[in-house]
Structure 1
Amino acid sequence: MTQPSTAAAPAAPAPAVTAPAGPVRANARPRRTIRPRTVVIASVAWLLAALFLIPYLEMVVTALRPADELRDATYLPSHFEWSNLVNVWTDSTLGGNLRVTLLVAGGSTLLVLLVALPAAYYTARIKYRGRKIFLLLVLVTQMFQPTSLLVGLYREFYQFDMLNSVWTLIICNAAFNLAFAIWILTAYISSIPVELEEAAQIDGLGRLGALRRVTIPLAMPGIVTALIFTFISAWNEFVMGLRLTTVPESQPLTVGINNFIGNYTVQWNYLFAGSVVAILPVIVLFAVIERQVVSGLTAGSVK
C-alpha cells in the first residue's frame, strides 16, 4: 500500500526593498517650524536695529556730500566727495586732537588699571573692618557728575598751572571711572575660588605670584570689561576737555569736532567726517572684545 508523497510548497518570494529616491543623511534633523511669535520678535528686532543705524548711515552720507549740496533735500548726493575725509585733516587741528584723545584715553585706562586692580583684589580677598563702608563710599563717588565739580576742578588745576595739559585730562577721566572699575573687578575676583590661590601658595608661590599667575589670568574678562568702559568713557568725554583746555592743539577730539560749529555757519561735511573718525575706533574695539565684556558684566550672577 503506497502512501501519497507530500511535496514541499514553494516559498513565497521576499518583498523587494526599494531604495529611497534621494540621498539619506545619517544625522538628518527634522525641519523646525517657524512660529509666528518668532517672526514677530525678529521683525521688531530688525526694525529697532534699523532705527538705531539710520542716524549713523545719514552721518556717513553727509560726511561725503559736496559742500554745495549740504542743504539739498535728497537722501543721496549726486556724487560722493571722498576728499572731505582728507581735507578734514589738513584744514583743521583734528590730527592733533586725535593724538590728545589717544593719550588721554590710553593714559586714563592704564592709571585706572594700576589703582583699581590692587584695590579690588584687597577688597575681595581680605575681610577687613569697614569693607562694606568702603564699597559704599566708592559707589557714592560714582553719583557725582563731572559738571557739578567743574568750577572746583578748574580753580585747582589753575592754581597748579596745569590747564591745557594732557595730564589734567588723564587724572580727571581716571578719577571719574575708578569707582566703576573697582566694583566690576571686586565682583569678578570674588567669583574666583580662593582655593586656587592657596594651592599655588602651597606649591611655592607667594601672594603676588599667585595674583600674577592665577588670579589675573582668570579675571581677564572682568579686567577687559573695566578697561574698555574706561577707554570709551575717556574717549567720549567732552565737558572736562571743553573747560580745562583752551588751546585748540591741546583739546581732545570731541572738542575739536565741536569747533566746526561756528557762530554763523556750520561745516556739516567736516563735522560729520570728524564724527565718523571718532566712532570707528570704539566700534571696532567693542566688536573685537564683545564676548569678554558680556562675561565680565555677568560675573557673580550664577553660583
Structure 2
Amino acid sequence: MAVTTPEFDTIHAPAPAGRRRRYTEDQVSIWRIMLRMSAGLIVLGVFILPYTIMFFGSVKTKSQIRSVDPTYFPLEWHWENYITMWSTPETPLPQNLISTIVISVFATLLVLGVALPAAYYTARFRFPGRMVFLFLVIVTQMVQPAVLSSGLFRQFVTLGLIDTWVAMIFVNAAFNLSFAVWIMHSFFAGVPKEIDEAAQIDGAGRLTVLFRIQLPLVWPGIVTAIVFVFVASWNEFAASLIVLTTAGNQPLSVALTKFVGQYETSWQYVFGVSVVAIIPVAILFMIIEKRLVGGLTAGSIK
C-alpha cells in the first residue's frame, strides 16, 4: 500500500512562474531606484561642493587658505571673520546689504507692475504691430547693461539721478522687463479664452478677470518672473559699478571686489560676503516654494 507524503511534495514543488517573474521585476525596480538615487546624490554633490568650499573658506584664516598644503576642513574655526568683515573701514557692508535689498525688491515690483498687464494684453488681444512689439521686446534682452554703461552714466548725470538707488532700480527693471513679459505672455496664452468669456458673462470686468481669474492660473509664470528678476537684480554688477559711485550706495556684488586688492586679497572675507549674499535668495525660494507648487496644481480639480 502506497504512502503519500504531502510535506515532501510541498517542499520539492517548483514555484509558480508568475511569482518568479514578480520577484525579478521587484529586484529590477529596486535597482532602478538605487541608480536614480545615486545619480541624484552625485548631481547634488556637484552643485553643493562649491558652496561647501566657500563656507569652509569663510571660517579659515588667510594663511590657511593660501597654504602650500591646504586642507579641506579648517584646522581652526574662526567664526569672528563674520563679525570682522562687517566693520572693515573700506567697505560698509551693512549699507551695501540694505542697498542691494532695496534695489532688488523695488526693481522686481516695478517689473511686475509693467509686465503683468502688458503680457495679458498681448496674449488676449490681436492688434496691429503685435508681433513687431513682441519682437522688439525680446531684442532688448540681447543687450546687456555692460554695453550701455557709459550711455547710462551720461543719461543719469543729465537727469540728476547719478549715484542713487532710483537709477539702479530703473536699470534693473528695464533690462529684465522683456523676459518677464515673454514668460508671462506664454502662460496667459495657455489659458483658454472661454474662461475670460464665462467670467465676463457673469458680470466681471477686465481688471476682475485679470486679478481674480487669470492670476491664480498663471501663478507659476509670475513666480518664475519674480525669481528671475530678483536674482538678476541681486547679482547685477557692471551698471552698479559705474552708476553708483558712493561706497555705501553700492550693492554687495560691487562691495565684494573691495576685498580683492592688487597685491593682497582677503579671501576669508570674500567667502564670508558670498555666503551672506546667498542667504536672502535662499529665503526667497523657501517662501515661494509652496506658492509655486500651489500654482502648478491650480485648476486641476474642478
| Counterpart mapping for 1:27-106 below 5 A | 32-34=26-28, 42-72=37-67, 73-91=70-88, 92-106=91-105
**CA distance in 1: counterparts of 2:261 and 2:200, whole angstroms:** 63
**CA distance in 2: counterparts of 1:294 and 1:237, whole angstroms:** 28
Query: 2:159 matched to 1:160?
Result: yes
- Deviation per CA, 1:138-174: give whole Å up to 9, x if none: 1111111222111211111122222110011100000
Higher helix share: 2
Match of 1:114 in 2: 113
**CA distance in 2: counterparts of 1:295 and 1:138, whole angstroms:** 30
Amino acid at match of 1:130: G
| Counterpart mapping for 1:199-210 below 5 A | 199-210=198-209
Residues 218/49 of structure 1: CA separation in 2 closer, same or farther (3 Å cut): same
**CA distance in 2: counterparts of 1:295 and 1:186, whole angstroms:** 20
Residues 229/294 of structure 1: CA separation in 2 closer, same or farther (3 Å cut): farther
Match of 1:278 in 2: 277
- Equivalent residue of 1:75, what SS? coil
Query: 2:171 matched to 1:172?
Result: yes
Q: CA deviation at 1:186?
A: 0.6
* Equivalent residues of 1:97, 1:252 under 8 A apart: yes
- Unaligned 5+ runs, structure 1: 1-28, 298-303
Q: CA deviation at 1:293?
A: 5.8
- Equivalent residue of 1:259, what SS? helix
Residues 175/284 of structure 1: CA separation in 2 closer, same or farther (3 Å cut): same
**CA distance in 1: counterparts of 2:292 and 2:144, whole angstroms:** 25
**CA distance in 2: counterparts of 1:131 and 1:243, whole angstroms:** 35
**Deviant stretches of 4+, over 6 Å:** 294-297
Q: CA deviation at 1:38?
A: 6.0
**CA distance in 1: counterparts of 2:138 and 2:293, whole angstroms:** 21
* Equivalent residues of 1:185, 1:222 under 8 A apart: yes
Match of 2:17 in 1: none
Q: CA deviation at 1:56?
A: 1.0
TM-score, normalising length: structure 1:
0.82
**CA distance in 2: counterparts of 1:63 and 1:188, whole angstroms:** 42
* Equivalent residues of 2:217, 2:295 under 8 A apart: no
- Equivalent residue of 1:250, what SS? coil
TM-score, normalising length: structure 2:
0.82
**CA distance in 2: counterparts of 1:206 and 1:52, whole angstroms:** 47
- Equivalent residue of 2:26, what SS? coil
- Equivalent residue of 1:164, what SS? coil
Q: CA deviation at 1:49?
A: 2.8
Identity among equivalent pairs (%)? 43
Query: 2:136 matched to 1:142?
Result: no
**CA distance in 2: counterparts of 1:43 and 1:216, whole angstroms:** 39
- Unaligned 5+ runs, structure 2: 1-21, 297-302
- Equivalent residue of 1:129, what SS? coil
Match of 2:4 in 1: none
| Bigger Rg, structure 1 or 2 | 1
Match of 2:14 in 1: none
**What is the root-mean-square deviation in Å for CA atoms of aligned residues?**
2.6
Equivalent residue pairs, number: 271
**CA distance in 2: counterparts of 1:206 and 1:162, whole angstroms:** 39
**CA distance in 1: counterparts of 2:207 and 2:48, whole angstroms:** 46
